[in-house]
């Protein structure tokens, strides 16, 4: 039934719920006021419901989420308030959802990711707050539009949005989003239009065709975006704009100079110590003393020391061990800051390739320069007379072999995700072999 554009006024009747065979109802572009009657949820055969462009107020009734056959829902351009019901995820057949231009607030419910058949999702021009739920990345059928603009969303842009390989139009503008545009956006080759303006984003923009063809308007009024787009600052080697690089360099110099002074004093003290005892020490003892209590960290909180790791792992207790390999055992460690890291305690080796050797230190130094979204990040290492270990990023769900060996987990890992994993591994190898300086041969995987 199509009653749109008829200048109808008044409130919606509760008797609409008695139309049990009604499949299509459009009352858009009228002057209807009042609230949406919950009884409308009893029209269980509805497949299309369009109440847009009216003066409806109040909350979206949870009863509408019982319309299991609903394919199209448009409540845009009204004065609806309150939160979007969590039950939105129960509309499993829904392919078009438009609730834009209302006064809806609260967080975007993560359950929206369960509406896996969505092709079009427009939540723009409301007052949604909080972070963008990562579950939006589960909407792999989404291809027409993802619209979240003109809200009060905060936090970073989830990298999971990069999984929407078929998406053509993306608008995240006019929010308070921060951080970098995820590297995963490089793989969104179907994008035709993107707008991330009026946020607090920084860093390098993706280099794929969709981003490079955009105008400056799609990026303006952000914190410090850079890239090869007219109107944006060019990026320096670290991925920040050159206009901001000088200020950062000044800060770095202020931090580094005192550190260099401390390091010089330590090295001088160590040098005097070794000169005094060098006649009584053989080559092996020299190496062990040089290594003693050496702790090196790249891009990580320098307050983490040897004792923190020992305490977090309860002196490398077996109950914290999550895996063992040829070079060492891996432990899960929750630090005093609350952050969880993986600690690989190295086995002592008899040959010259073990911890403390020149080859080992050169390899660790090379790994510290690796920065890629598909490669586990190395935070640092510790060489100690009792224990030597490497600190790296902790991955919550373990390795691929573990997931595939678990029947329940393997079912969840569908072929789309498996293909994406293979692509991620290939991208990591390509980076190691061709983009690293110097290139790295991966050997043991």
The predicted pLDDT at position 286 comes to: 43
How many Å is the Cα radius of gyration of the chain?
Answer: 29
Backbone angles phi, psi at 166, to 5 degrees: -100, 0
Helix (H, G, I), strand (E, B) or coil at 137: helix
Q: Of the candidates 95, 96, 88, which has an alpha carbon nearest to the alpha carbon of residue 64?
A: 88
Superfamily of domain 9-243: Ribonuclease Inhibitor (3.80.10.10)
Task: In whole angstroms, give the CA distance from residue 164 to residue 172.
Answer: 15
State yes or no: pLDDT of 261 exceeds 70.
no
For the chain, the residue count is 445
Average confidence (pLDDT) over 387-391 = 77
Average confidence (pLDDT) over 367-387 = 71
Task: In whole angstroms, give the CA distance from residue 5 to residue 15.
Answer: 21
The predicted pLDDT at position 287 comes to: 43
Beta strands at 294-297 and 378-383: parallel, antiparallel or unpaired:
antiparallel
State yes or no: is 301 an active-site residue: no
User: Which strands make up the sheet holding 152-155, listed edge to edge?
Assistant: 9-11, 31-35, 55-58, 79-82, 103-107, 127-130, 152-155, 176-179, 200-204, 224-226
Tokens of 246: 């000088």
The stretches of 279-357 forming alpha helices (DSSP H) are 283-291, 306-312
State yes or no: pLDDT of 252 exceeds 80.
no
Q: Of the candidates 287, 337, 288, 289, which has an alpha carbon nearest to the alpha carbon of residue 309?
A: 337
Q: Of the candidates 421, 422, 442, 443, which has an alpha carbon nearest to the alpha carbon of residue 431?
A: 442
Q: Quick check: 10 and 33 in contact, CB under 8 A?
A: yes
Q: How far is CA 320 from the centre of its chain?
A: 27
Percent residues over pLDDT 90 in the chain = 44
What pLDDT, in 10s, does the model give residues 149-174? 999 999 999 999 999 999 999 999 99
> Does the annotation flag 250 for ligand binding?
no
What pLDDT, in 10s, does the model give residues 103-135? 999 999 999 999 999 999 999 999 999 999 999
The predicted pLDDT at position 290 comes to: 36
Largest CA distance in the chain: 102
Helix (H, G, I), strand (E, B) or coil at 142: coil
In this prediction, residue 294 has a pLDDT band, given cuts at 50, 70 and 90, of very low
Q: How far is CA 416 from the centre of its chain?
A: 19
CATH topology of domain 292-396: Phosphorylase Kinase; domain 1 (3.30.200)
């Amino acid at each position: 039934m199509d009653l749109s554009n008829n200048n109808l006024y008044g409130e919606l009747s509760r008797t609409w719920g008695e139309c049990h065979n009604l499949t299509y109802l459009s009352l858009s572009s009228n002057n209807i006021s009042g609230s949406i009657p919950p009884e409308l949820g009893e029209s269980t055969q509805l497949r299309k419901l369009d109440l847009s462009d009216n003066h409806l107020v109040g909350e979206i009734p949870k009863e509408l989420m019982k319309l299991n056959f609903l394919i199209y829902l448009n409540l845009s351009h009204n004065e609806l308030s309150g939160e979007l019901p969590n039950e939105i995820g129960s509309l499993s057949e829904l392919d078009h959802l438009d609730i834009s231009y209302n006064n809806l607030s609260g967080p975007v419910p993560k359950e929206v990711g369960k509406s896996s058949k969505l092709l079009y999702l427009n939540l723009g021009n409301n007052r949604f707050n909080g972070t963008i739920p990562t579950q939006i990345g589960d909407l792999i059928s989404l291809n027409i539009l993802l619209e979240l603009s003109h809200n009060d969303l905060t936090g970073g842009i989830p990298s999971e949005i990069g999984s929407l390989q078929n998406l053509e139009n993306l608008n995240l503008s006019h929010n308070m989003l921060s951080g970098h545009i995820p590297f995963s956006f490089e793989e969104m080759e179907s994008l035709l239009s993107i707008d991330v303006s009026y946020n607090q984003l920084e860093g390098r923009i993706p280099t794929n065709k969709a981003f490079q063809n955009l105008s400056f308007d799609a990026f303006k009024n952000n914190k410090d975006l850079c890239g090869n787009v007219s109107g944006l600052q060019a990026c320096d080697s670290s991925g920040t704009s050159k206009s901001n690089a000088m200020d950062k360099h000044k800060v770095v110099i202020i931090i580094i100079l005192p550190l260099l002074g401390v390091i010089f004093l330590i090295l001088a003290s160590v040098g005097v110590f070794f000169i005094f005892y060098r006649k009584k020490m053989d080559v092996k003892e020299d190496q062990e003393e040089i290594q003693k209590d050496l702790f090196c960290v790249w891009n990580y909180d320098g307050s983490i020391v040897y004792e923190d790791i020992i305490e977090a792992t309860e002196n490398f207790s077996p109950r914290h061990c999550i895996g063992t390999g040829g070079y060492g055992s891996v432990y899960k460690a929750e630090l005093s800051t609350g952050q969880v890291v993986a600690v690989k305690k190295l086995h002592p080796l008899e040959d010259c390739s073990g911890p403390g050797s020149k080859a080992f230190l050169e390899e660790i130094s090379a790994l510290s320069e690796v920065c890629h979204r598909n490669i586990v990040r190395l935070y640092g290492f510790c060489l100690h007379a009792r224990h030597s270990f490497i600190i790296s990023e902790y991955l919550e769900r373990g390795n691929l072999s573990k997931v595939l060996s678990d029947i329940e987990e393997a079912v969840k890992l569908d072929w789309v995700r498996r293909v994406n994993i293979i692509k991620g591994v290939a991208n990591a190898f390509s980076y190691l072999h061709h983009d690293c300086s110097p290139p790295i041969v991966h050997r043991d995987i």
